[in-house]
Amino acid sequence: MRAYCVIVNQMETKQTMLVAIIAIMSLPALSIYAWQTTTIYSEQNAVDTALQFVEDSPTYGWDGIKGSIELVKVYKMRNPNAIWEVVVAFTSSNAGYGDRSDQMVATVLTDHVIKVTVEGDLITSAVTDEVWDELSETEVEILSTSHSEAEEIAINFLKNGPTFGFDGVPGSIEVIEIIAAESYPIQYFITLTFECRQAGYGDREGQMLAQVFTAHEIRIALSNGVIGSAIIDNSWDELIQRPVTVSMTISPDHAKDLAVDHVINEYHELTDASIPEDWTVSTSNHGGSVGSNNLEFSGAGWTVKVQFPEGHEPVYEIIVEYDNDTGFTWEGQIDHEGNIIEP
């Protein structure tokens, strides 16, 4: 009788264990390891984190234009540690970077590109236009680029870009002009011409295109070996692959001519002053904020200093000096449409 009871108890124990195993198997597998919590950071997590940072960043936060933030590219830098580089474009209503509350800034729409590095849910790096550190709110250390290096960088950028890469004519690239502006950071402005076999810009795969050789001009600005802007035919931004707002923007040379004509017409002591047929152009170091460019035009007793920010619609700061008995000096502004703004 005692042996029988032992056998019955063993059978009941096995049945109980079987029921317990079945109950556990019926639950989601994750519940077995509920104490192990691991957050997976996806590309969308990185993008959301970066976009929120840009919106709150010192530069955009000070004068960023609402609705101008645009995702350009996302790169996965390391796997499986989920490190992403998120490239974002935005537009500010003034030149410069960071909180400019105590600065005199040029009122001009300024396009920016910021590269944000996201590790998990943390921002570890955020640099705007390769020159401004948004985390430390300081300028990025600038390295010098030689004239030949700048030319090579610009040509390679064009060759490898979507527009020329799609149907550019080999051997058609020609360097038209290189200007080294005395600014901080030092910038090169390089103008290139080239031809494509079809009309249009960028990667035109799948588009209906006019089969006609098309001549183009691209203006590239670079510093520290990095392309800051690249505009084709004043119509297409080759850097971020989107159209630009086309507007009538005068050149620094035109701004100089308008300023000289203005002072001759408005100031009697310059009535007999002659205007040189050929001006000598050089870079100038007469101050300016971060990202400003400085050119100096001289000839026949005239010195005209032109300071302007990089952008599609610059406001030119002008200083006109004429070496006569009165030591004439005039300072003012000329907007991108050629309108004189008296001090």
pLDDT tens, per residue, the chain with 343 residues: 444 444 444 545 555 555 444 444 444 444 333 333 445 678 899 999 999 999 999 999 999 999 999 999 887 765 555 688 899 999 999 989 999 988 888 888 899 999 999 988 899 999 998 889 999 999 876 566 788 888 999 999 999 999 999 999 999 999 998 887 655 556 788 999 999 999 999 999 888 888 899 999 999 988 778 887 899 998 899 988 888 765 557 788 889 999 999 999 888 888 788 888 888 888 755 444 445 678 899 998 899 999 887 666 788 999 999 986 667 899 999 988 888 887 6
Strand intervals (E) in the chain? 70-78, 83-92, 110-119, 122-128, 132-133, 138-139, 174-181, 187-196, 214-223, 226-232, 236-237, 242-243, 280-283, 292-299, 302-309, 316-322, 328-334, 340-341
Residue 324, helix vs strand vs coil = coil
Question: How many Cα atoms occupy the beta-carbon half-sphere of 252 within 13 Å?
Answer: 24
Residue 219 forms beta bridges with which residues?
Answer: 191, 231
Quote the CA–CA distance of 325 and 269 in Å, as a whole number. Answer: 9
- The order of strands in the sheet holding 292-299 is 280-283, 292-299, 302-309, 316-322, 328-334, 340-341
Evaluated on CA atoms 117, 121, 122, 127, the torsion sign reads positive
Bridge-based pairing state of the strands 110-119 and 122-128:
antiparallel
CB 60 within 8 A of CB 70: no
Neighbours of 207 (CB within 10 A): 11
Structure-block tokens of residue 301 = 């007793």
The position carrying tokens 């300023």 is: 259
Residue 7, helix vs strand vs coil = helix
90: Cβ contacts below 8 Å, ≥ 6 apart: 54, 60, 64, 65, 68, 69, 70, 111, 112, 114
